[in-house]
């Protein structure tokens, strides 16, 4: 029997973090492939990352030709991720030299949904 002193179960919304990038003019399609491979290889080493997706535009007229989308259990996990040395190095060595602009979007997702099985 539940008493009024019990704390109700609370759910922390999961976070879907998407970053769209504009590439430097000299970035080749082969370089974009390398960026995608590096994103998956490096960022999946970070324990706070539940899943990662990255890709390149289909329509050559699209303003944002490259994206990275990452899922986190919570905003706290996302904050830890942003300070991780692997992420910092990835940004310095892969993203910054190849991009000229970015647009970051964060969304809440259904709490507790295991994105690995969705």
Q: Report pLDDT digits (tens) over 78-106.
A: 999 999 999 999 999 999 999 999 999 99
Distance of alpha carbon 103 from the chain centroid = 12
Q: How many domains does the chain have?
A: 1
* pLDDT for res 24: 96
Residues in the chain predicted with pLDDT less than 50, given as ranges, are 113, 115, 117-118
pTM over 0.85: no
Q: What does the block give as tokens for 107?
A: 């969304």
Considering the domain boundaries, does residue 107 fall inside one? no
Considering the domain boundaries, does residue 34 fall inside one? yes
Considering the domain boundaries, does residue 75 fall inside one? no
* pLDDT for res 109: 86
**Residue range of the domain that includes 47:** 12-68
Considering the domain boundaries, does residue 87 fall inside one? no
β-partners of residue 102 are 21
Considering the domain boundaries, does residue 4 fall inside one? no
Considering the domain boundaries, does residue 109 fall inside one? no
Considering the domain boundaries, does residue 25 fall inside one? yes
* pLDDT for res 57: 93
Considering the domain boundaries, does residue 118 fall inside one? no
């Amino acid at each position: 029997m539940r008493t009024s002193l019990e704390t109700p179960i609370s759910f922390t919304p999961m976070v879907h973090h998407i970053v769209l990038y504009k590439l430097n003019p000299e970035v080749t399609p082969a370089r974009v492939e390398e960026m995608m491979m590096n994103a998956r290889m490096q960022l999946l080493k970070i324990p706070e990352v539940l899943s990662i997706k990255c890709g390149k535009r289909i329509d050559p007229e699209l303003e944002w030709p490259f994206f990275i989308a990452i899922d986190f259990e919570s905003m706290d996990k996302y904050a830890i991720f942003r300070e991780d040395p692997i992420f910092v190095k990835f940004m310095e060595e892969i993203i910054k030299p190849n991009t000229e602009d970015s647009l970051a979007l964060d969304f809440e997702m259904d709490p507790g949904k295991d994105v690995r099985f969705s």
